[in-house]
Amino acid sequence: MMNYKEIRTMIEEMAKENHEDFVKALISFEKGIHDKEALGMLYERYMENDSMSLLHEEFDYMIDELRESGQIRDNVSFEKEENDLVNIVGNIVGKMEVIERVSKTGEAFEVVNFSVVSKDTEGNKHYTNCSAYGEKADILKGFKPGDFVKLFGQERKFIDENGKEHRNVKILSSKLLKEKEKTKEKIDKNESVLETIKKFKIEEKAKLYEKMGFSKGVER
């Protein structure tokens, strides 16, 4: 089994050998994007933004923008996986309802009920009712209507006394995408892998400008 140093060396070599495909592969793996054209556009925007690092939260905004404009073919605003597990990206709408419950063992816990609206590739809105329990509810209590969020949970269906089917997603994890990181982790004396990849990004851009026959900012 490889240790972290061997994996780091391998990552650096892959980034140096084929920077573009390395970045696309990492975005695809981390963000679940498989559309080749969309990956190409994300790579171009990443290369254009000198202050943007890999795995930056700005990718979530860019991906959502591509979804809304229909440039990502697959609808991953509500992506269903096996065992009724779903990924949801959208905005919280309406009131966040907090309910106190008691478990069978007599322990008190809270439930947060809320709704999320997301858009498909054609711009149609879809509303999803969600519920978070216990510790998951504690996190959601800090969210508010209008917040742009990324959710992962298990879809549950039930039929009421009138024969109408209802759908609810039990939240397993949640992430607030609206706010950008306010603090950056201090970099150690040893150069991080992301810093090394950033160097490859700068070198890649320099090669591109050289190929085009001019230096950045000054046309020959």
Q: For residues 61 and 46, is the Cβ–Cβ distance under 8 A?
A: no
Provide the β-strand partners of residue 157: 167
Higher pLDDT, 129 or 63: 129
115 pLDDT higher than 70? yes
pLDDT > 70: what percent of the chain? 68
Q: How far is CA 160 from CA 8, 84, 113, 155, 213, in A?
A: 54, 20, 18, 16, 69
Compute CA 98 distance to the chain's CA centroid, rounded to the nearest angstrom: 26
Looking only at the bridges linking them, the beta strands covering 165-176 and 125-133 are parallel
Higher pLDDT, 116 or 202: 116
Single out the residue of 122, 99, 97, 119 nearest to residue 109, CA to CA: 99
Higher pLDDT, 57 or 29: 29
pLDDT digits (tens, 9 = 90+) for 155-192: 888 787 778 888 899 999 998 886 433 333 333 444 45
36 pLDDT higher than 70? yes
Parse the chain into domains and list their residue ranges: 4-57+192-212, 78-176
Q: What mean pLDDT, rounded, does the chain reach?
A: 76
pTM of the model: 0.46
Structure tokens at 66: 């591509």
The structure tokens 């892998």 sit at 193
* CA–CA gap between residue 7 and residue 28 (Å, rounded): 19
* Superfamily of domain covering 78-176: Nucleic acid-binding proteins (2.40.50.140)
> Got the DSSP string for 118-187?
EE-TT--EEEEEEEEEHHHHHHHTT--TT-EEEEEEEEEEEE-TTS-EEEEEEEEEEEE-SSPPSS-PPP
pLDDT digits (tens, 9 = 90+) for 72-87: 654 444 455 555 788 8
Higher pLDDT, 47 or 183: 47
* CA–CA gap between residue 137 and residue 98 (Å, rounded): 8
33 pLDDT higher than 80? no
20 pLDDT higher than 80? yes
For CA atoms 181, 184, 185, 188, the dihedral sign is positive
